Chain A
Amino acid sequence: MESQSAGAKASMTDEERLALCEKLDKELDEFIDGLEKKRYTDGWPEDRWEEEMDKHPFFMKTAPKGDEMSPLAEGLAKLKYDPDENTPLELATNYKEDGNFNFKHKNYRLAILGYTEGIKVRSDNAEINASLYNNRAAAHWHLKNYRSAIYDSEKALSFNPDHDKARIRAAKAALEVAMYDKCINHCQVLLQKNQDKDITDLLNTAKKKKLLQDRDSRKKERSQKKREDEKNAIVKAIIERGIKISNCEDEDDIDLSKLEPSLPGAQDSIVCVENGVLIWPVLLLYPEYQMTDFIKGCPENVPLINQMEQLFPAPWDEENKYSSSTINVYFEGYDKMPHVVNPTKTLGDLLLLKYYELKAGTPAFFVVVRGSKVERQFLESYI
C-alpha cells in the first residue's frame, strides 16, 4: 500500500512575489525576442505610401495613363459601376468580371469582394446569381474556407440545381469538414445524372469515413455510459451503507463531486468500488510531529490497524513511540469533538460510527501515543 508524506506549505513573502513577477516578465521578453522576425510586407512601403496610394483605384486623384488596370479601376474612370447608368444585371455582370479578373490573378480575397458586390445587387436573373455564388465558392475553396465554399455552392444550387460544378465543389468541401452525410447526398445526386468514376470514389471515401465517424461516436458514448454507471454504483453503495456525508442534505444530494478529495494530487484517489467493496483514500494525521500519511486505497472491509501497521515505524518517529499497540486513534465528529475509535474495526464500520461525518470524500484520523502529553494537548485543544 502506497503512502506519501505531505510537507507543510510555505507561504510567499512579498519580496519573493516581486522577484517571481520580474522573472516571468523577463522570460516573456526573451521568448518574444526569440521568435522569428518577419517584416510586415503586405502593406504599402513606409517611405512610398503616398505614391502607392495614388495608384490605388479608390484613392487616385487623377486617371492613370497607359498600363492595364483592374476593371474596377477602369470602371471608376468610366462610371462602370454606377447603378444609375446600369441595369442590375449589367451591374452584377460587371462585378462578376471584376471578381473573375482577380481570381485569374489568384487574388482570391479581392475576387470575393467583387463577387460579393455582385451578389448584393440582387439581380432577378438566376443565372448571374448562380454564377456569382459559384465563383465566390471557388475563391473560398482556394482559400480553404471550406464551410463558406459549401454555403456559396449550395446557394448557387438554389438558383440552378443543375450546376454540377457547384455540386461537386459542395461535395468535396463537405468531405474536408467531415460533413459526410452532405457529401454522400450530393454525390448521389451527381451519380444519378452520370456515372463518373471520380464521384463514385468520392462517395465511397465519404461512406468509409462516415462509418468510422459513427463508430467513434458509439465508442465515446459507450465509455461515457460506463463512467456514468460506475459513478452511480459508488453513490448507491455509499447510500446503502448509510454513511453521513458533510454538505449533503439528503440522499439525493450525494454525488461524486462532493466526494472529491481536496488534497492536492489526491484527485485520482477518489473513492471507488471493486467487487462490491468500497475503496477509500485515507488521511492519517500525527499532531505531535505535524506529519500526515495518505493511503491511496484502503478497502472498507479491512481493519484500519492493518493499514497502519504498514506505516510503522515511521521515518519521522525519532523516539520510536508509534506502534499499533501504543497509539490511540481519534476522529473529529460533526459535533466538533474528538472521538476515540477502535482501530481493529474495519474502515467501513468506523465510517458508520455515531458522530462520524465524511468530509471531502477522505476519511481522516488523528494518531497520538496513548497517555502522552501530546494526546492531552490534542484533546484539550477542542475544549
Chain B
Amino acid sequence: MAKDPLDELIDFLKPDSRVDLKHISLDHLLGLSGTEDGINIILSKEKILQCIIDLTNDKVEEISKNALLLLINVTANSKGVLELIKYKPEGKKNVVGIFIGYVLDPQTKNADVACMILSNITRVEEALKISIDTFLPHLNDLLNVFVNIDYNKNGANLNYLAPLISNLSCNIRVRRWLTEENPHLPLIKLLPFCNYSPSSIRRGGAIGTLRNIAFDTSHHVFLLSRDLDLLTYLLTPLMGNEEYADEEMDALPIALQYLPKEKERDPDIDIRKMVLETLNKLCATKQGRETLRNNGVYYILREYHKWEKDAKTRLACENVVDILIQKEEEVGADDLSKVEVPADMTEKFQNMDDEYVNSV
C-alpha cells in the first residue's frame, strides 16, 4: 500500500528535516489552507498541526513565518481553532502561551502574525474559555506592549493586539481587570486609541472593547464616571467640523468643543457602527441616558445623521436618538437591558427594520 502522502509530508515537516524539504512542504500546505477543504485535510491528521506549531520556532525565518501564516489560515476557521487549542505542547496547557511569547519578544519579526493568530483564536467562544487562564497573568504585559508604539524593534506594529483585547473583554474576568485594577486602570491606557488615526485596526479594537464592556450594565457607573471622560473618546469618530449653536456647543464635553476645520469623521463604517452600538448599550440605564443627554450627544447624532449615507447605520443612529429624545417618564424602564421582549414582537421589529433599510 502506498504511503499516505500526508504521512510523508509529516516526515518532511520534522524540525530536523532538510531545510528545503520543510520549505516546500510548508508552501504546499499554505496553498491548501486557502480553502475550507484544504483546511479539513490539514486537520485530518493531528501530527500535521503539531509539526506546524513546532516549526513556528524554526531558526530559518522564512520557515517560521510560513508556519505562522499557515496557522492564521487555520485559525480563520473555527474548527481549526478548536483543533489547535486542544494541542498541548510540552509542559504547557495550550499553544496560546507560545504565541504570547512571540508577541512579547521585541526582537521577532513574527510578532504581528502571532497577534493575528491570538485574535483569531479568541474570537471563538469555546476557545476563549479554554485559554483564558493562560492569558490572565499576561494581561498587563500585553497592554503595555500595545501602548508602547515602538516596542517591537523589527518592524512589527502589533496593531492586532487591539482586536485581541476586544475579544478578551467578552470574558468577565478580563472586564474586571480592565475596569478595576490598581493603581493604573488599564482601560485608561486603551482609551486614546479610539482615535488613533494611523491604524483602523487599533481604533476598531479599542472601541470594540468599550462596546463589550458596555454590554454589561454593571460597568455603567464606572464607564460614565466623570474622571474617565469616556464620551470624549467615544464620540470623536462621529464628529467632523460641523457647526453647533453656542448653547449646544457648551453642552458638549470640553475636548469636543470647537473642533478645528480639519476634523473628519472616522472613514471606517464598522467603527462608526460600533460607536453607535456602544451608545445604544449605554442608554440601557437611566444614569446612562441622563449622562448622554447632559453631554449633548443628541446634537452630535443629529448632525451625524445628516452626514451618514449608509441606511443600516442611520437606523442604528436613529435607535439611539429615539431613546434620547424621550423624557425619562416616557422611557418606562430603569434598565432597558432587563426588559423582556416577546418573541413575536422581536420578529415584527426585525421586519420593520428591514423594510426601512430597503426603502431608503
Contacts and interface: CB of A to CB of B under 8 A. Distances in A.
B260 A212 contact: no
B188 interface: no
Contacts of B257: 215, 218-219
B255 A215 contact: yes
A219 B252 CA distance: 13
Q: A-side binding surface: helix, strand, loop or mixed?
A: helix
Contacts of A195: 183
B260 A218 contact: yes
A215 B253 CA distance: 10
A211 interface: yes
A78 B259 CA distance: 67
B261 interface: yes
Nearest to B241: A222
Nearest to A217: B258
A287 B183 CA distance: 84
Interface string A205-247: 0000001101100110110010000000000000000000000
A262 interface: no
B255 A214 contact: yes
Interface bin, chain B: under 10
Contacts of A204: 227
Interface in A339-379: none
B254 interface: yes
Contact of A221 (B227, B255, B260): B260
A268 to B, nearest CB: 21
Interface string B234-270: 0000000000000000000011011111000000000
A68 B227 CA distance: 55
Nearest to A208: B254
B242 to A, nearest CB: 12
Given A195-B183, A204-B227, A225 B255 contact: no
A223 to B, nearest CB: 9
B261 A225 contact: yes
Contacts of B254: 211-212, 215
Interface string A259-299: 00000000000000000000000000000000000000000
B contact patch SS: loop
Contacts of A211: 254-255
A86 to B, nearest CB: 49
A219 B261 CA distance: 11
A219 B255 CA distance: 11
Contacts of B258: 215, 218-219, 221-222
A222 B259 CA distance: 9
A219 B258 CA distance: 5
Nearest to A223: B258
Contacts of B183: 195
Contacts of A215: 254-255, 257-258
Interface in B143-186: 183
A72 B255 CA distance: 55
Contacts of A225: 261
A197 to B, nearest CB: 12
Listed residue (B183, B227, B258, B261) with the most chain A CB atoms within 10 angstroms of its CB? B258
Nearest to B229: A211
Nearest to A213: B254
A221 B263 CA distance: 14
A95 B143 CA distance: 52
A367 to B, nearest CB: 43
B238 to A, nearest CB: 18
Nearest to B257: A215
A121 to B, nearest CB: 44
A222 to B, nearest CB: 5
A190 B294 CA distance: 35
Contacts of B259: 218
A10 to B, nearest CB: 46
B261 to A, nearest CB: 7
A46 B145 CA distance: 74
Contacts of B260: 218, 221-222
A167 B260 CA distance: 34
B233 to A, nearest CB: 13
A16 B183 CA distance: 78
A189 to B, nearest CB: 16
A222 B241 CA distance: 10
Interface in A170-212: 195, 204, 211-212
Q: Which of A195, A214, A215, A221 has the most CB of B within 10 A?
A: A215
Interface of B: 183, 227, 254-255, 257-261
21 contacts: A195-B183, A204-B227, A211-B254, A211-B255, A212-B254, A214-B255, A215-B254, A215-B255, A215-B257, A215-B258, A218-B257, A218-B258, A218-B259, A218-B260, A219-B257, A219-B258, A221-B258, A221-B260, A222-B258, A222-B260, A225-B261
A-B CB proximity, top 7 nearest: A218-B258, A219-B258, A211-B254, A215-B257, A215-B254, A222-B258, A211-B255
Given A214-B255, A218-B258, A222-B260, 17 more contacts: A195-B183, A204-B227, A211-B254, A211-B255, A212-B254, A215-B254, A215-B255, A215-B257, A215-B258, A218-B257, A218-B259, A218-B260, A219-B257, A219-B258, A221-B260, A222-B258, A225-B261
